[in-house]
Structure formats: C-alpha cells, structure tokens
C-alpha cells in the first residue's frame, strides 16, 4: 500500500486545551472563567504547543495559571471535542484563521473559589450559564414556557417520520418527558438538543459552518437561555457538570469540594448545589453517617438559628477503603417534576 500525499488544501488542525475548574461557594456551584476578546465568556484555554508542552496536562496547567493566576491541584481528562463548525471564535483567538479546532477538556475540583488576581478571570455561577438545570426552587419556568415548546416545535418540523421519532425519543430521555423522569446527569444531552433546535445563541453563531437547519426568525435574545460561551465551551462545561453529577453516586468526589470541617447540613447543601435538587434531609444524613466517609470532630458550631451543629471531617482511612463508592442522592420529588 502506498501512502497518498496530503492535499495542499488540507485543513490545519489546532489543539486547544480547556479546563473546567469547579467549586461550590455556599450554595452556589461555580466555574472559573475568563473574559476573552470583546467580553466573550470562556473557560481557561490555550493552544497545545508540542515544543513547549511535554504533555497536554502540562499545557493546560500553564494556560490556567497564565490566564487566571490559579494553580491547579488534581485534574482529570474530561473528553475530546472536535465537531466541525463550532470553533468560532476560538480559532482566531488561538492565532489561526480557518483552522479546525480539536478541544481537549480537563476537569478539576476544589473546596472553594481561590482568589483570582487576573483582571479577566471570574468565578461564574454555572446556573447563570445553564439556568434550566437548577430545580432547587421547583421546576424552572423557562422549561415549561420556552424550552419544551421550542423542542416540541423542532420535533414537529422534522423532515421525515423517522427523524421525528428519533428527535422525540431523544427529547423524552433528555428532558424526562412522557414518563421518563428527569436525570440530572444528562446535562449535555439537554444542551445538545437545545443547540440543534436553535434555542441557544451558539447555534445561531455556528449555523452556517455547522450546517444547522434552524427555524427562521426565532433567535433567542441576549442571555434569556443562559450566558453563552465562545466556541464549544458551553458544551464542554455541560459535559463536566454531567460528569460531576454522575460521579457523586459512585465516587466520593464531593469531599474534593468541601472545607476541612463541615456540618452535615453544609455537606447536604454542597451536594444539592451540584445536583440541582433539594434532598430528603433524614435520608441524606443517614446515608452519610453510614458511609464511613466522615467522622465527628467532637466540636460544634452555632448557626444563625437553632441548636449547635456537630462538625465533621473526612475520614481519610474510610475514604481510601471505599474509593469506589459514592453517596446516596435522595432527591425530594416535587409535584411538577412527576408530571414533566
């Protein structure tokens, strides 16, 4: 077999390194972002330089520190993203024009938001980017008023019965319709459907390059559907949120996002902030106390109201012994959720 020469018009490929750095600040889950270009919101990112970066991980650590002045601890590779037409405006910001960008995403967890010294760095509440994902005060109105009708319109405008059935099945699974039930870890499935249906600004930005068939005249206004991000960064963040939510159930990762000591209520609020639902208090406490992950410090703290609360810390030996276990997620069911 002879090797065929690469055509002169072959597309250049740029490798971008992205980092999702997630924390919970009180009852708000936050992610570290940077303002790029004309006030564009982005994850910390930059190009992989094969001359300077021995590994992708070295590269992503360098870019995060350079852009935000925050040093990363433990990180894990999240996913690789490379769909055509979703590069804007990252390709130009990475120093090229007309390049195909392949993004390698990393996930890092921390117990709280570090001080950011860079002017362009900011900790963003991830529910300002995905407002439909926060059910702690009940079903978000935008789901019933705008998102589900928009998805339904997109389904009904399918070009063939087969496509209609496929879209309806995807919507049922992603949004818990027709008795399927809402699964919090399907964050990326929901975002991707909204992107394809033209319900987020990124779809209109990419519509020509990504060859999206969007409805005419239905472009969302401003941040009505959450804060948009450059390139495929909102897609990367949606994937990270789904990863964190899913891993809570089978890995003790929540203790990467807690302070050295905490009350059981604070632990519950941290988990609720991540999952986007309120929990059954007694069931959650029972699960934590039986998990072997925590131990009572023998100290208490006086909350603003009520009785003193016991302080706990992570039992490192128990954490090591049960590294392949997570915590129960005893969501409180609301009437509106059961009818979605």
Query: Residue 243: inside a domain, yes or no?
Result: no
Q: Comparing C-alpha atoms, which of 2, 137, 122 is closest to residue 69? A: 122
Tell me how far apart the alpha carbons of residues 97 and 12 are, in angstroms, rounded to a whole number: 9
In a shared domain, residues 138 and 120: no
Tell me how far apart the alpha carbons of residues 177 and 335 are, in angstroms, rounded to a whole number: 14
In a shared domain, residues 161 and 118: no
pLDDT of residue 118: 83
pLDDT of residue 6: 44
Query: In the block, which residue shows the tokens 């496509």?
Result: 163
pLDDT of residue 257: 93
In a shared domain, residues 176 and 95: no
Q: Poorest-confidence range of 149-158, 250-259, 314-323? A: 314-323
Query: Residue 240: inside a domain, yes or no?
Result: no
Q: Is the pLDDT of residue 34 over 90?
A: yes
Q: Is the pLDDT of residue 8 over 50?
A: no
Tell me how far apart the alpha carbons of residues 33 and 41 are, in angstroms, rounded to a whole number: 7
In a shared domain, residues 178 and 215: yes
Query: Residue 139: inside a domain, yes or no?
Result: yes
The residues that bridge with 76 in the sheet, in sequence order, are: 107
Q: Is the pLDDT of residue 340 over 50?
A: no
Give the mean model confidence (pLDDT) for residues 18-46: 90
In a shared domain, residues 47 and 125: yes
In a shared domain, residues 220 and 291: no
Q: Is the pLDDT of residue 136 over 50?
A: yes
Q: pLDDT-based confidence at 335, cuts 50/70/90?
A: very low
pLDDT of residue 86: 77
Over the stretch 244-286, which tens digit does the pLDDT of each residue have? Answer: 999 999 898 999 999 999 999 999 999 999 999 999 999 999 9
Query: Residue 239: inside a domain, yes or no?
Result: no
Alpha helices in the chain (DSSP H): 56-68, 90-93, 126-129, 141-142, 148-156, 161-175, 187-196, 201-206, 233-247, 264-275, 281-291, 316-321, 335-338
Query: Residue 2: inside a domain, yes or no?
Result: no
In a shared domain, residues 94 and 145: no
Which region, left, alpha or beta, applies to residue 138 given φ > 0 means left and ψ of -120 to 50 means alpha? Answer: left
pLDDT of residue 116: 86
Query: Residue 274: inside a domain, yes or no?
Result: yes
Query: Residue 79: inside a domain, yes or no?
Result: yes
Domain at 272, CATH number? 1.10.10.10
In a shared domain, residues 19 and 51: yes
Which of 12-16, 79-83, 231-235 has the highest mean predicted lDDT (pLDDT)?
Answer: 231-235
Over the stretch 46-101, which tens digit does the pLDDT of each residue have? Answer: 888 888 999 999 999 999 998 888 888 889 999 999 888 777 665 555 555 556 78
N- to C-terminal Cα distance for the chain?
57
User: 94, 129, 164 — which closes off a domain?
Assistant: 129
Q: Is the pTM of this model over 0.85?
A: yes
Query: Residue 303: inside a domain, yes or no?
Result: yes
User: With contact defined as beta carbons under 8 Å apart, do 84 and 209 qualify?
Assistant: yes
User: 96, 129, 162 — which closes off a domain?
Assistant: 129
In a shared domain, residues 28 and 72: yes
User: With contact defined as beta carbons under 8 Å apart, do 218 and 82 qualify?
Assistant: no
Domain at 83, CATH number? 3.90.79.10
In a shared domain, residues 47 and 102: yes
Q: Poorest-confidence range of 3-17, 116-130, 162-176, 316-330? A: 3-17
Torsion of CA 96, 81, 250, 173, to 10 degrees: 140
| Residue 92 or residue 213, greater confidence | 213
List the domain range (segments joined by +) for residue 220: 134-225
Q: How far is CA 107 from CA 14, 77, 270, in A?
A: 20, 6, 18
In a shared domain, residues 150 and 103: no
Give the list of residues 6+ apart from residue 75 with CB closer than 8 angstroms, or none: 19, 57, 60, 61, 106, 107, 108
In a shared domain, residues 275 and 217: no
DSSP 113-125: PPP--STTEEEEE
Number of domains in the chain: 3
User: 129, 158, 177 — which closes off a domain?
Assistant: 129
User: With contact defined as beta carbons under 8 Å apart, do 29 and 273 qualify?
Assistant: yes
pLDDT of residue 72: 86
């Amino acid at each position: 077999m002879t090797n065929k020469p690469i055509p002169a018009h072959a597309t250049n490929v740029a490798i971008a390194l992205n980092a999702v750095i997630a924390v919970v600040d009180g009852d708000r889950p936050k992610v570290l972002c940077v303002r790029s270009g004309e006030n564009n919101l982005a994850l910390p990112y930059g190009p992989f330089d094969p001359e300077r970066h021995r590994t992708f991980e070295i590269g992503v650590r360098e870019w995060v520190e350079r852009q935000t002045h925050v040093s990363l601890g433990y990180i894990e590779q999240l996913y690789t993203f490379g769909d055509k037409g979703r590069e804007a405006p990252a390709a130009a910001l990475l120093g090229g024009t007309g390049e195909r960008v392949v993004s390698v995403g990393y996930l890092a967890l921390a117990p709280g938001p570090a001080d950011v010294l860079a002017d362009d760095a900011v900790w963003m509440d991830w529910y300002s980017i995905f407002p439909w994902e926060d059910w702690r005060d009940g079903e978000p109105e935008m789901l019933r008023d705008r998102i589900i009708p928009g998805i339904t319109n997109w389904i009904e405008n399918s070009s063939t019965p087969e496509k209609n059935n496929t879209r309806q099945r995807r919507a049922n699974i992603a949004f818990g319709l027709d008795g399927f039930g809402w699964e919090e870890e399907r964050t990326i499935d929901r975002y991707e459907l909204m992107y394809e249906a033209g319900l987020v600004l990124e779809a209109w930005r990419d519509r020509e390059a990504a060859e999206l068939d969007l409805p005419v005249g239905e472009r969302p206004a401003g941040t009505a559907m959450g804060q948009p991000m450059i390139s495929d960064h909102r897609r990367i963040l949606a994937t990270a949120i789904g990863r964190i939510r899913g891993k809570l159930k089978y890995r003790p990762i929540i203790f990467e996002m807690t302070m050295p000591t905490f009350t059981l209520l604070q632990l519950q609020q941290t988990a609720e902030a991540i999952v986007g639902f309120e929990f059954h208090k007694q069931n959650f406490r029972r699960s934590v106390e039986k998990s072997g992950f925590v131990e009572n410090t023998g100290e208490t703290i006086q909350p603003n109201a009520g009785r003193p609360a016991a302080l706990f810390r992570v039992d490192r030996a128990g954490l090591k012994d049960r590294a392949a276990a997570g915590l129960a997620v005893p969501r409180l069911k609301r009437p509106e959720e059961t009818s979605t």
